[in-house]
């Protein structure tokens, strides 16, 4: 089973096939034009639609027809869209991560980055728009969590990243990993999922968090 996720400097889309786990990250205050070779957000949109097409009802804006038309737009652009990033960092220490993030990673029990982590964390931290794909259980969650944690401004206690997941369980699992890896950074993470009090979610969000992990239904209410 393969999973993939897409990260842009405006959003992260996470899709674990075949269950189509979906995460969306939005980083605030990042100017895509200031980054080296950014892929314009508009180029990533068709991929977002491709994931949504599989989970959306027919007739919605994300249905298969919409997906086909977006994919045709994308393919018409040719190879320019696809670039590869072949730098490999076989130890966490070489990735230029904040010391407190490294402490969190090691304290969580990770000694050596997995293959996807060796290739995926640094481009994310450098602000590239990335699409990454790896087998299930190979460490993608920690890859994008590390990328988010590295980029947050911890002096600003407001939501700077949003991760969307298709199920409550997955959102809660991602929250746990984010919280654990960001323990020494004192990251404030909140999982906004159905089955809990909306008021309590709103209270926590108003009190200030750095990262929200949510399911789409609950986030639209909050």
Ligand X SMILES: Nc1ncnc2c1ncn2[C@@H]1O[C@H](COP(=O)(O)OP(=O)(O)OP(=O)(O)O)[C@@H](O)[C@H]1O
Contact positions vs ligand X (CB under 6 A): 3, 16, 110, 112-114, 117, 134, 136-142
Least Cβ distance, residue 46 to ligand X (angstroms): 22
Residue 138 vs 167, nearer CB to ligand X = 138
Helix (H) or strand (E) holding 168: helix 168-181
Least Cβ distance, residue 159 to ligand X (angstroms): 22
Which distant-in-sequence residues (6+ apart) come within 8 Å of 149 by Cβ?
98, 101, 104, 178, 181, 182, 185, 187
Residue 74 vs 211, nearer CB to ligand X = 211
Least Cβ distance, residue 37 to ligand X (angstroms): 26
Residues 148, 8, 3, 218: what is their CA dihedral angle, to the nearest 10 degrees? 70
Within a 10 A sphere around the Cβ of 112, how many other Cβ atoms? 9
Q: b or e along 172-184 (b: 16 or more beta carbons within 10 Å of the residue's beta carbon)?
A: ebbbebbbbbbbb
Quick check: helix, strand or coil at residue 28?
coil
Round to whole Å and give the CA distance between 77 and 125: 26
Least Cβ distance, residue 161 to ligand X (angstroms): 17
Least Cβ distance, residue 191 to ligand X (angstroms): 16
Within a 10 A sphere around the Cβ of 74, how many other Cβ atoms? 19
Least Cβ distance, residue 100 to ligand X (angstroms): 18
Q: Is the peptide bond before 79 cis (omega within 30 degrees of 0)?
A: no
Residue 117 vs 215, nearer CB to ligand X = 117
Residue 112 vs 199, nearer CB to ligand X = 112
Residue 117 vs 150, nearer CB to ligand X = 117
Residue 135 vs 202, nearer CB to ligand X = 135
């Amino acid at each position: 089973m393969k999973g993939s996720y897409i990260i842009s400097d405006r959003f992260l889309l996470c899709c674990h096939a075949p269950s189509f786990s979906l995460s969306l990250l939005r980083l605030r205050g990042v100017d895509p034009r200031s980054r080296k070779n950014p892929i314009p957000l508009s180029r990533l949109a068709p991929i977002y639609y491709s994931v949504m097409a599989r989970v959306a009802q027919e007739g919605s804006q994300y249905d298969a027809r919409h997906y086909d038309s977006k994919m045709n737009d994308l393919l018409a652009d040719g190879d320019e869209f696809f670039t590869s990033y072949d730098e490999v960092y076989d130890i966490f220490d070489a990735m230029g991560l904040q010391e407190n993030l490294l402490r969190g990673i090691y304290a969580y029990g990770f000694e050596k980055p997995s293959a996807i982590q060796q290739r995926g964390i640094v481009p994310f931290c450098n602000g590239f728009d990335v699409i990454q794909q790896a087998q299930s259980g190979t460490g993608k969650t920690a890859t994008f969590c590390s990328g988010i944690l590295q980029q947050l401004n911890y002096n600003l206690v407001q939501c700077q990243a949003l991760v969307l997941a298709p199920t409550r369980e997955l959102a809660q699992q991602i929250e746990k990993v984010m919280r654990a890896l960001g323990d020494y950074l004192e990251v404030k993470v909140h999982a906004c999922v159905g089955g809990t009090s909306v008021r309590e979610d709103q209270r926590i969000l108003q009190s200030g968090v750095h990262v929200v992990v949510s399911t789409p239904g609950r986030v639209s209410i909050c």
